[in-house]
């Protein structure tokens, strides 16, 4: 006895065909068992949508983005607990760049020696963004408070 494919099977087949990128269409002579066999076959052709997990955020510290040399300090907000990056301005102080933390890579994190070298050329403490004022700080490239902490 001929058992035609159900409405549900037909709409499911059409949906799978569309997702698999093949022209949708179901022969009217399709039986229930043929329809379920076709569904199994189509399921194998539909590639599941890949889940893209966001890359983990970089650790706290000072980073120099290799693409443009921009300096960022990565820190965690005490209020929200969110980690973010603020842009270190060459003249001292901080700027803002939307989504900057997502542009930084772990290997762009600077060591104390690199921070010191940056401070020596710019006269700004790379950790707190303040201008180096004392002769000792200028010679070290890092401000006194940051030197004791970092
Ligand atoms: Zn400092």
Give residue 60 CA to ligand 1 midpoint distance, Å. Answer: 15
How many angstroms is it from 5 CA to the middle of ligand 1?
Answer: 74
Ligand 1: centre distance to CA 134 (Å): 12
pLDDT of residue 46: 73
- Both structure tokens of 65: 């983005």
Beta bridge partners of 30: none
pTM for the full predicted model: 0.61
Residue 120, both tokens: 């020596």
Mention every residue, 6+ apart, whose C-beta is less than 8 A from residue 112.
142, 150
* DSSP structural state of residue 63: E
Q: Which structure tokens are listed for 12?
A: 């499911």
Q: For residue 104, how far is its CA from the centre of ligand 1 (angstroms)?
A: 21
Within 10 A of 141 (CB to CB), how many other CB atoms are there? 23
Rounded to the nearest whole angstrom, what is the distance from the C-alpha of residue 123 to the centroid of ligand 1? 11
Q: Do 130 and 144 form a contact (C-beta atoms < 8 A)?
A: no
Q: What is the pLDDT along the chain (150 residues), one digit of tens a residue?
A: 778 999 999 999 999 888 888 888 888 889 999 999 999 988 887 766 666 666 789 999 999 999 999 999 999 999 998 999 999 988 888 999 999 999 999 999 999 999 999 999 999 999 999 999 999 999 999 998 998 887
Does residue 58 contact residue 106 with C-beta atoms inside 8 Å? yes
Measure CA 97 to chain center: 15
């Amino acid at each position: 006895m001929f058992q035609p494919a159900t409405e549900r099977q037909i709409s499911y087949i059409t949906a799978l065909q569309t997702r698999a990128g093949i022209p949708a269409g179901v022969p009217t002579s399709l039986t229930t068992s043929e329809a379920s066999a076709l569904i199994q076959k189509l399921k194998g052709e539909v590639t599941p949508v890949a889940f893209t997990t966001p890359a983990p955020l970089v650790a706290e510290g000072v980073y120099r983005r290799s693409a443009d040399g921009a300096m960022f300090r990565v820190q965690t907000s005490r209020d929200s607990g969110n980690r973010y990056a603020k842009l270190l301005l060459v003249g001292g102080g901080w700027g803002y760049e939307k989504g900057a933390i997502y542009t930084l890579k772990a290997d762009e994190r600077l060591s104390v020696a690199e921070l010191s070298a940056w401070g020596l050329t710019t006269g700004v403490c790379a950790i707190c963004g303040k201008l180096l004022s004392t002769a000792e700080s200028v010679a070290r490239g890092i401000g006194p408070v940051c030197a004791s902490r970092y």
